[in-house]
Chain A
Amino acid sequence: MNLDIHDKKIPIIKIRDFLIVSIQVDMHDKLAVQLQSQILHEIERTGAKGVLIDISVLEMVDSFIGRMLSGMASMAAIMDAAVVIVGMQPAVAITLVELGLEMPGVDTALDMEKGMEMLEKKLREKES
C-alpha cells in the first residue's frame, strides 16, 4: 500500500473550548477542502467555541485557499464558533491583498498566544 501524501490528514487538537489547527504542509486544493469539512465536523463533535488556525509555515496562499479560509470562518460562525487565523507571513498578506482577497470578517492575530487571548475575549463578550 503506498500512502499518498493526499491521504495525510492535518491534526486538529482540542484544548479546553478551542480547537487548534496547525497547518505544516503545503496546502493543495483537495487537502484544503478536506480540512474544511474536518474542522466543521470536529466543531460539531467537540462543541468547541473557537478555532485557531496557524498558518505561520505556509509560504504561499493562493486564491482558493484564501477563499476556503474565509469561507470556513463564516461557516464556523453560524455553528457558534469563532475562527482566528494566526501567524500569517508578510509575503502571504501582500499576495492576498494583491489578489483582492481581503478576507473581511475573518479575525487574525500575530501569533498563537494573541489569537488565544482574542478568542477568550470574544467568549467573555458573548457570555456577558
Chain B
Amino acid sequence: MENNLDFKNAKERIEHIEDVLSSVAAGDLDKRLQTDIEDDLTGIEEAINILIEDLTYELKQSKKMKEELEDKLNKIQEQQKTIVQQQEDLLELSSPVTKVWDNVLILPVIGTLDSQRTQIMMENLLQKIVETGCTIAILDITGVPTVDTQVANHLLKTVTAARLLGADCIISGISPAIAQTIVHLGIDLSSIKTKATLQDAMLFAMKKNNQLFEGKIHLEHKEQEEDDK
C-alpha cells in the first residue's frame, strides 16, 4: 500500500492548494505548491504549478504588449499633432498677399482650393487691402488645377467683398480647363475683370494706376489754374 493517502494529511494539503490558488487569484504569482511527497495529489499539484507558470508567462506577455501599444499610440498622437500643425502652417503660407507696385496687391494661388482655404485667403486679402490702402488686387490662379462650383462661388465672393471695401479685383491665369468647367457649370464671371496672364493683369493695373494718377494731376492743374485766376 504505497502512496496511500492519509486523509488527515490530504485535507491539509488540499487546504494548502486552496491557499495557494487564492493567493494566485489575488495576484501573487510567486507562490508554488510543494511537490516533494509523491502520492495521488502530486499530479494535481504539479498541474497547478504548471498552470501558474503559464499564467505568469501570459500575464508578462500581455503587459509587454500593452506597453508597446501605448508607445505606438503616443507616437501616433505626436505625429497627428505634427500633421495638424503643418496643415495650419500650410494654410497660412498658401495665401501670401504682397504689394508689388504702388497701389497694386497680388495674391498668387497655388494648389487645390477648398472652402477653408478660400475663406482664409479672402480674409487675408481684405485685411491687406485695408492695411496697405491699395485699390487694385490681382488674384492669380495660374497654379490652380481645377475649380468647382463652390470654389468659383468663393472667388466671386472674394471679388465682391473687395469691391465693397473699395478695391478692384482682377483674376488672372484662368487655364483652359478651368474656363471650360466654369462655363459648363454655368457660372457667370462676366462681372469680374479677367486677364489671360499675370503680365496682362499687371499691365492693366498699371494703366489703371496711371489713370488715377493723371486724374490727380489734372485736378491739381485745374486748382492751380483757378488759383492763378
Residues of A within 8 A of B (CB): 85-86, 88-90, 92-94, 96-98, 102-103, 108-111, 114-115, 117, 120-121, 124
Contacts and interface: CB of A to CB of B under 8 A. Distances in A.
A110 B164 contact: no
A110 B126 contact: no
Contact of A111 (B126, B133, B164): B133
B7 to A, nearest CB: 92
B201 interface: no
Interface residues of B, number: 22
Given A97-B164, A108-B163, A124-B218, 12 more contacts: A85-B166, A90-B127, A93-B126, A97-B161, A108-B164, A108-B165, A110-B129, A110-B167, A111-B166, A117-B216, A121-B215, A124-B219
Contacts of A97: 157, 160-161, 164
A14 B164 CA distance: 24
B172 interface: no
Contact of A88 (B135, B165, B219): B165
B130 interface: yes
Interface of A is mostly: helix
Given A110-B129, A110-B130, A117-B216, A90 B161 contact: yes
B123 A94 contact: yes
27 contacts: A88-B166, A90-B126, A90-B127, A90-B130, A92-B164, A93-B126, A93-B161, A93-B162, A93-B164, A94-B123, A97-B157, A97-B161, A108-B164, A108-B165, A109-B135, A109-B166, A110-B129, A110-B130, A110-B165, A110-B166, A111-B133, A111-B166, A114-B133, A115-B166, A117-B216, A117-B219, A121-B215
B20 interface: no
A60 to B, nearest CB: 14
Given A90-B130, A93-B161, A102-B160, A108 B166 contact: yes
Contact of A89 (B130, B133, B135, B163): B130
A98 B157 contact: yes
A76 B129 CA distance: 28
Given A111-B133, A121-B215, A90 B123 contact: yes
B106 interface: no
Contact of A90 (B165, B212, B218): B165
A114 B135 contact: yes
Contacts of A110: 129-130, 133, 135, 165-167
Contacts of B165: 88, 90, 93, 108, 110
Interface string B114-155: 000000001100110110010100000000000000000000
Contacts of A111: 133, 166
